[in-house]
Amino acid sequence: MMSVSLQTKGLIRERVEGVRERIAEAAGESGRRPEEVRFLVASKYYEPEGISALAEAGIELLGENKTEDLLRKQELFPEAFEWHFIGHLQRRKAKEVAGRVALVHSVDSTKLVEELAKRAPGDGMEVLVQVNVSGEESKYGVGEEEVEAVLEAAAGTGGKVRIRGFSTLAPLVADPEDVRYVFAKLRATRDRLRAGWAPHFDLSELSMGMSNDYAVAVKEGATIVRIGRALIEEAR
């Protein structure tokens, strides 16, 4: 976690603007509008003073990895941000997240869909299916052949769990171009499924790309990128 000085706040603001500029550039290169891409900051790197600095820098979207940290930080900043849950979600923790976030990025089983349906508020909740495109054993997510089973489970909840799209985590590599295939493959999977599932879900969201590879992800269709380490490194 980081302690934030006035100087560091200024550097965070500069770095936030730098990321926005790079997103806009990458979007333009792929024929997209910058406003099609949302900039989420992973709040696991920040304690309250750092979160205040993010708000001052114009950040509106925060994603938390752990349920206990979500509850603690959300109590301090209930209205300052749109909150998402981006970490691995255990079924026993579903009740702590349901109704507290605008979007869960990490639904990776039919059983989790069923549990979230039990815990969802009256108007339901929105989620992304996490797909393990790279096949790495260390990463969570369903295989491509399992995606439709999760969609079917959500369709059976009567609107309690609504799937907005997909998310993935690419391997950490020195050259982001080496993981372009991960983002392209997730986009292709979404495009293949979109028309058939249109009566139930719009599947418009693609949460992919992090600090080291977000520009490539934007060029391949990301609608949400997760930034954390890039802001920290620049601000040190």
Q: Are 129 and 163 in contact (CB under 8 A)?
A: yes
Cross-strand bridge partners of residue 44: none
In DSSP notation, 126-149 reads EEEEEB-SS--TTS--B-GGGHHH
- Predicted confidence at residue 138, as pLDDT, reads 83
54 domain residue, yes or no:
yes
pLDDT under 50: residue ranges of the chain = 1-2, 234-236
Q: What is the pLDDT of residue 73?
A: 95
Q: What pLDDT is attached to residue 234?
A: 46
* C-alpha span between 87 and 89 (Å, rounded): 6
DSSP-derived 3-state class of residue 107 = strand
Return the pLDDT at 45.
87
Q: What is the pLDDT of residue 164?
A: 98
Q: Which CATH number belongs to the domain containing residue 125 in this structure? A: 3.20.20.10
Evaluate whether residue 201 is within a structural domain: yes
Q: Which domain holds residue 172?
A: 6-235
**Domain count of the fold of the chain:** 1
pLDDT on residue 229: 75
Residue-wise pLDDT tens digits, 65-106: 999 999 999 999 989 999 999 999 999 999 999 999 999 999
Is residue 1, in this structure, part of any structural domain at all?
A: no
Q: Note the pLDDT of residue 8.
A: 75
43 lies in a domain? yes
The pLDDT of residue 7 is 57
